[in-house]
Amino acid sequence: MEMEASVLAALAAVVVASIFLVLPHLRKQSPSQDDRRRQLPPGSFGLPVVGQTVGLLRALRANTAEAWLRRWASEYGTVSKLSLFGLPTALLVGPAANKFLFASTALTAKTTTSFNSMVGRRNIRELAGDDHRRVRAMMVQFLKLDSVRSYVASMDDEVRHHIRAHWDGRATVAVMPSMKSLTFDIMCTVIFGLGRAEHAAVRRELSAEFQQLVRGIWAIPVNLPLTSYGKCLAASRRGRRAVAAVIGEKRAKLESGHSSPFDDLMTHMLAEGLADEDIIDNVMFMMVAAHDTTATLLTFLLRHLDGNREAYGRVVAEQQEVARSKAPGEALSWDDLGKMKYTWSAAMETLRLVPPVFSLLKRAVEDAEFDGHLIPKGWQVLGAMNMTQWDPAIFPEPGRFEPARFESPAPPYSFVAFGGGATVCPGNEFARVEALVAMHYIVTGFRWKLADGCDGSFSRYPLPSPAQGLLIDIEPMDTATTGAAGITK
């Protein structure tokens, strides 16, 4: 109740503060007579400014957002209109809608005002044209397949170090905080060249600030000291200062010849002449996008395996077979990851059930048409992944965890956790390797079950987050029996 009261109070402040600014904007975006004749989508904008924002945010917190959207779509169809964050929005549903979202040149990527405030407005999601292509090419340089192959040993080392520090000798582990720490450390080492020893302090500082600022991604943008948005914005400013300091250090090394443009992404961006503010914005974006999503996947994969012992047994058997082929303390190789097919199918099924990113938000840069309805220029366009990934006509018994679904390809545009078409996420292979390496050492090192009092419930605000961080009871596996390669001290 306290959280809902704060949301309503913040919204009231938005209405009072913005009434003279937002309403003229809405009038500009409201449909003309010509638009209405061209069949705008059915639906309702609700109250001015507020629209359906409060209802959706409440549903996200209560983990009822799929039901909320399904009710809306059942009433209005595959394309409908509503108002979110003060802007007219088209909600699109189904595989054809997913294809349109990923393929239409009339749409461009969009993030919320709060997201841009947290990471910066020059992040890759907000760039277009040559600027977007330039930054994407820099990121792909460090996420392409050949690069990811070379990261396996470094990821292996980070996972072993994390397990020794945070799992060994403990009876209970909170999975989500553990996985967030692990994936953040992997990203710092592999992508940004911030090693454990020489950058320990800045890694701790950045991790703390990012855990705070990510809570503000969907926050109502009321910048007051006691609001969630205000607190998260302060964390973002501190994080940006820390990143700026690292950029200064890397510039000095590059100019003195002590580093190469291909050592890490920040150095590469410097060598390519990207402005410091642009580097900071895109580093902030990647730090949010690259570690929280994989941490969510790993957390919910453990949760679902705990609830399906048959699938758990198959994952254990597969990982133990890999472990038996390794010498004690030997790192995993790229070939080893190719043997983990069922484990990755289980990960894909987890992404189907609990996609880390709830929705895809775009903006119409010109008038567009979908399913016979006009989406006017300037409107937001919202696609919700679970609306397709939980469709029983596509995935029978959609609430059942069944990794075997992904032993063959899913129908086109029905599973879009990594995007679709030409806009597939460039980091999908990085995430696959990261998840498989982590699962190998967890599965071969420990047995686990949900701790007493942990029911596995979770919220989707701002990202899927289990109650109590998903507390599990753990006990070490007998490596002499399993043949696990082990985590050397």
Tens of pLDDT, residue by residue over 215-226, are: 888 777 888 888
28-476: CATH architecture? Orthogonal Bundle (1.10)
Q: What is the pLDDT of residue 371?
A: 93
Rounded CA-CA distance 175/446 in Å is 13
**CA triple 33-37-39, angle to 5 deg:** 120
Q: What does residue 182 show for φ and ψ, rounded to 5 degrees?
A: -65, -50
Q: What is the pLDDT of residue 138?
A: 95
**pLDDT confidence bin for 114, thresholds 50/70/90:** confident
Evaluate if residue 485 carries a pLDDT over 90. no
Terminal CA-to-CA distance of the chain, rounded, Å?
Answer: 48
Higher pLDDT, 24 or 55: 55
Q: What is the pLDDT of residue 223?
A: 86
Among 375, 267, 349, smallest CA distance to 39 is for 375
Within its chain, how far is the Cα of 236 from the centroid?
A: 18
Q: What is the pLDDT of residue 22?
A: 44
**pLDDT confidence bin for 456, thresholds 50/70/90:** confident
Among 290, 293, 335, 331, smallest CA distance to 161 is for 331
Q: What is the pLDDT of residue 243?
A: 95
Q: What is the pLDDT of residue 480?
A: 43
**pLDDT confidence bin for 479, thresholds 50/70/90:** low
Q: Which contiguous run of DSSP H or E holds residue 36?
A: helix 33-37
Total Cβ atoms within 10 A of residue 275: 11
pLDDT tens per residue across span 58-76? 888 888 888 898 899 999 9
Residues of the chain above pLDDT 90, percent: 65
How many angstroms separate the Cα of 151 from the Cα of each of 115, 200, 294, 397? 29, 20, 16, 37
pLDDT tens per residue across span 225-236? 888 899 999 999
Q: What is the pLDDT of residue 6?
A: 43
Residue pair 382/84 in contact by the 8 Å Cβ criterion: yes
Total Cβ atoms within 10 A of residue 227: 20
Evaluate if residue 17 carries a pLDDT over 60. no
Most confident of 13-22, 57-66, 321-330, 423-432: 321-330
What is the total residue count of the chain? 489
Mean predicted lDDT score pLDDT of the chain: 87
Residues contacting 262, CB < 8 A, separation 6+: 141, 268
Evaluate if residue 450 carries a pLDDT over 70. yes
**pLDDT confidence bin for 358, thresholds 50/70/90:** confident
Rounded CA-CA distance 12/54 in Å is 11
Category of 61 on φ-ψ map: left (φ > 0), alpha (ψ -120 to 50) or beta: alpha
**pLDDT confidence bin for 38, thresholds 50/70/90:** low
Q: What is the pLDDT of residue 447?
A: 95
Residues of the chain above pLDDT 70, percent: 89
Q: What is the mean pLDDT of residues 448-470?
A: 85
pLDDT tens per residue across span 132-145? 899 999 999 999 99
Residue pair 57/218 in contact by the 8 Å Cβ criterion: yes
Residue pair 346/87 in contact by the 8 Å Cβ criterion: no
Q: What does residue 367 show for φ and ψ, rounded to 5 degrees?
A: -55, 135
Q: What is the mean pLDDT of residues 322-329?
A: 95
Evaluate if residue 484 carries a pLDDT over 50. no
Total Cβ atoms within 10 A of residue 241: 12
Q: What is the pLDDT of residue 384?
A: 83
Evaluate if residue 467 carries a pLDDT over 60. yes
**CA triple 186-272-200, angle to 5 deg:** 30
Total Cβ atoms within 10 A of residue 151: 22
Q: What are the residues facing 383 on neighbouring strands? A: 92, 360
How many angstroms separate the Cα of 153 from the Cα of each of 49, 261, 265? 51, 21, 18
**E strand map for 139-246:** 172-174
DSSP 368: E
pLDDT tens per residue across span 166-213? 999 999 999 999 999 999 999 999 999 999 988 999 999 999 998 888
